[in-house]
Structure 1
Amino acid sequence: MRITLERSNLLKSLNHVHRVVERRNTIPILSNVLLRADGTALAMKATDLDLEITEETPANVEQAGATTVPAHLLYDIVRKLPDGAEVFLATTPDGGTMTIASGRSKFSLQCLPEADFPDLTAGTFSHTFKLTASDLKMLIDRTQFAISTEETRYYLNGIFFHTIEAQGDLKLRAVATDGHRLARADIKAPSGSEGMPGIIIPRKTVGELQKLVDNPEATVTIEVSDAKIRLSIGSIVMTSKLIDGTFPDYQRVIPTGNDKEMRVDCQTFAQAVDRVSTISSERGRAVKLALTDGQLLLTVNNPDSGSATDELAVSYESDAMEIGFNAKYLLDITAQLSGTDAVFLLADAGSPTLIRDTAGDDALYVLMPMRV
């Protein structure tokens, strides 16, 4: 293999694919990125056996060929080369090493044979549909923070995507929960998604996907089956296994009879919660909300360091009540709201609270209270 290509193109593609590679690997080939030069492009592929990303970048190919080299090492070398440089890649006749040359810099890396590189065979996909990158990004951004990190409930370690009939329309819905809070976001179901199986996209795949949908104008082609999902954005193709489990019936935890409504300026509320929670301990991050007519009193008590209070004017006309929440969870949710006001629908101190955005009804949040 002998090729020359722009450093910026190589770095951009490597940046997308190398992140999939785990830093510690018991299988040496999984530390490598597969490079395949053919025609007028260099194709790169990296995998951790659950997630695979491939991307093509333009290259001047003198001699076609393929090899695998350490992914993080190659990325670090290319990253440290000067801007605007040309990079020359060539393998030795026996395929044992690859030379990377640019200007006066020259590196030699150990290679492993292409034949050893695993292939995440996709199989057949039952449903194919297209989404704009901005829609997909919205669904991920609004729900990702609520993904559980508890490995025992592995079926909560991702975002649940499915289609559902709501208000007479078919919606594509994303849901995530960790048992303490729930986030739900909807968009109009795209053509081709009708009847698709409900799928749970793993946390790592969601994180990588979030970095790839940075151009809102791009179109994402999504293919799904019961076990895998494939997403194509331009020259990037990402294939991932899905979480093999059943997502719980989340509809049961969304309260319907919460009749006490509080409206508060979202930014002012978030700043007040952030201020009073300065005093809270890492272990007990509870903030108490005391509601009376038109007024909200926020209180945090920490036996080790002291207490804090803050008062806000709110729109609230129901009976006086007190309820406690985890301050971090409140801030996570308010960070997702795009409207000026946050709407809290409450029942009592022991029941889940519903939080909505005034900017539209495409997202909804449920938060479990804490004892304070």
Structure 2
Amino acid sequence: MKLTIERAALLKALGHVQSVVERRNTIPILSNVLLSAEREKVSFAATDLDMEILDDTVAQVDVPGQITAPAHTLYEIVRKLPEGADVSLSFQGDDPRLQVAAGRSKFNLPVLPAGDFPVMSSEGLSAPFAIEAADLARLIDKTRFAISTEETRYYLNGLYLHTVVENGEAKLRAVATDGHRLALAEMPAPEGAAGAPGVIVPRKTIQEARRLLEDASGSIDLQVSPQKVRLDFGSAALTSKVIDGAFPDYMRVIPRDNAKIMLVDNVLFAQAVDRVATISAEKSRSVKLAIEPGRMTLTVRNMEAGQAVEEVEIDYDGDSFEIGFNARYLLDVTGQIGGEIAEFRFADPASPTLVVDPTDAGVRYVLMPLRV
């Protein structure tokens, strides 16, 4: 194999694939990236056995061929080469090393046979449907903060992507919850999405997809099956196993009749929560909200660090009450509100609270209160 490629193109392709490779691997081949050179392009592939990312780019291929090389090492070498450099990659069958050269820099990297590299099949996937890159990024950004990191409840360790029909309208919906809070974002279902099965996309896959979306524009092709999901970003493609489990019936926890409605300036409220939470105990991070007509008083008490109190003006004219929340969860939710005003809908201090964005009807958040 012998090829020449522009450094920026090589860096971009390697950047897309190498992050799927775990830093520590008991299986040596999984530390490597697969290079496949043919005609006027070179393809790169990396996998952790649960997810595979492919990317290809234009290159001057003198001798076609395939080989695998250490993913992170190759990426770091290319990253540190001077901008605008032409990078030569060559591998001769009698020399068990990949030669990397650019200008006066030369590197020799150990290789493993391409035949040992595991390839993830794409069998059983549904017909692809197109979704705008910006729409998919919105679904991910509005919900991924609520994905659980608790491994025992593995079925919550991902984003539940599925279609629903409400009032005769099909919607593509993303939902995440960790049992303490829930995030839901939806959009009109793209054409062809209605027949696709609902899948729980793992947290790591969501992170990698969001990274690839930063370099994507236009529409993304999405395919799903009960076992896998595949996203095509143009030159790059991501295939991943999905979580084998049943996502809970989340609609049961979304309040419908919360009658106490409070409107608050989102930025001022978030800043106030952040300030008073400075002295909260790290484990509970609880903040008490005393809500009365026209104002809300935020209080945090810590036996060791003291007390913090702050008042915020609100639009509310119901009965006074007190309710507590985890400050981190409040900040996560307020961080997703796109408009100036956040709308909180309460029932009572022990029941779930619904938070909505008046400027975006397609998002809903649920927060479980704390005892304070």
TM class, shorter-length: over 0.9
Which position in structure 2 is the counterpart of 1:208? 208
SS at match of 1:246: coil
Does the Cα contact within 8 Å between 1:133 and 1:215 map onto a contact in 2? no
Q: Distance in 1 between matches of 2:161 and 2:98?
A: 42
Provide, for residues 230-259 of structure 1, a one-character-per-residue CA deviation record: whole Å limited to 9, x for no partner: 100110011000000000000000111210
User: Conserved in 1, the CA contact under 8 Å of 2:216 and 2:233?
Assistant: no
SS of the equivalent of 1:314 reads strand
Task: Give the count of matched residue pairs.
Answer: 372
Give distance in 1, aligned partners of 2:56 and 2:66.
13
Q: How many Å separate the matches in 1 of 2:370 and 2:191?
A: 42
> How big is the shift at 1:217?
3.3
Per-residue CA deviations over 1:269-324 (Å, capped at 9, x if unaligned) read 00000011011121120000001111100000011110001001100111000000
Tell me, in whole angstroms, the C-alpha distance in 1 between the residues paired with 2:239 and 2:146.
23
Q: Which residue of 1 aligns with 2:349?
A: 349
CA deviation profile, 1:15-73 (whole Å, cap 9, x unmatched): 00000000000000000000000010010000000000000011000000110000000
Alignment partner of 2:354: what SS? strand
Question: Any idea what SS the aligned residue of 1:325 has?
Answer: strand
Distance (Å, rounded) in 1 between the aligned partners of 2:360 and 2:241: 33
Under a length normalisation based on structure 2, what TM-score does the superposition of the two structures give?
0.99
Residue 226 of structure 1: how far off its partner (Å) = 0.8
CA distance in 1, matches of 2:230, 2:94: 35
Is residue 3 of structure 1 aligned with residue 31 of structure 2?
no
Q: Which amino acid aligns with 2:349?
A: A
| Residue 296 (str. 1) matches residue 296 (str. 2) | yes
CA distance in 2, matches of 1:168, 1:59: 50
> Does residue 101 of structure 2 align to residue 101 of structure 1?
yes
Q: Please report how far the alpha carbon of residue 360 of structure 1 lies from its aligned counterpart in structure 2 after TM superposition.
A: 2.1
Q: Secondary structure at the match of 1:256?
A: coil
Do the aligned partners of 2:160 and 2:199 also contact (CA within 8 Å) in 1? Answer: yes
Q: TM-score, normalised by structure 1?
A: 0.99
1:194 Cα offset (Å): 1.2
Which residue matches 1:254? 254
Q: What RMSD over aligned residues (CA atoms) do the two structures have, in Å? A: 0.9
Within a 5 Å distance, the mapping from 1:1-372 to structure 2 comes to 1-94=1-94, 96-215=96-215, 217-372=217-372
What's the CA shift for 1:218?
Answer: 2.2
Contact preservation (8 Å) 1:95, 1:111? no
Unpaired segments ≥5 residues, structure 2: none
Residue 121 (structure 1) shift:
1.0
Q: Do 1:4 and 1:88's aligned partners in 2 also have CA atoms closer than 8 Å?
A: yes
How big is each residue's C-alpha offset from its partner over 1:78-101, in whole Å with a ceiling of 9 and x where there is no partner? 111111111001102225111000
Distance in structure 1 (CA, Å) of the matches to 2:343 and 2:314: 10
**Aligned pair in 2 of structure 1 residues 15, 360: CA closer, same or farther (>3 Å)?**
same
Amino acid at match of 1:162: H
Deviating runs (4+, > 3 A) in structure 1?
none
Instruction: Say if 1:95 and 1:117 are closer, same or farther in 2 by CA, change over 3 A.
Output: farther
Aligned mates of 1:167, 1:200 — CA distance in 2: 25
- Structure 1: which 5+ residue stretches go unaligned? none
Q: For 1:296 and 1:3, how far apart are their aligned partners in 2? A: 66
In 2: Cα distance, 1:93 partner to 1:46 partner: 22
**What letter is aligned with 1:78?**
V
CA contact (8 A) 1:228 1:240 kept: yes
| Rounded Cα–Cα distance in structure 1 between residues aligned with 2:155 and 2:55 | 29
The alignment-based identity, stated in percent, is: 54
Q: Is the 8 A contact 1:266 1:342 kept in 2?
A: yes
Q: Could you say if the C-alpha distance between residues 216 and 122 of structure 1 is closer, same or farther in structure 2, counting changes exceeding 3 Å? A: closer
Q: Aligned-pair distance for 1:215?
A: 4.7
SS of 1:301 mapped into structure 2: strand
1:68 and 1:131 mapped to 2: Cα distance?
Answer: 33
Query: Which amino acid is 1:151 matched to?
Result: E
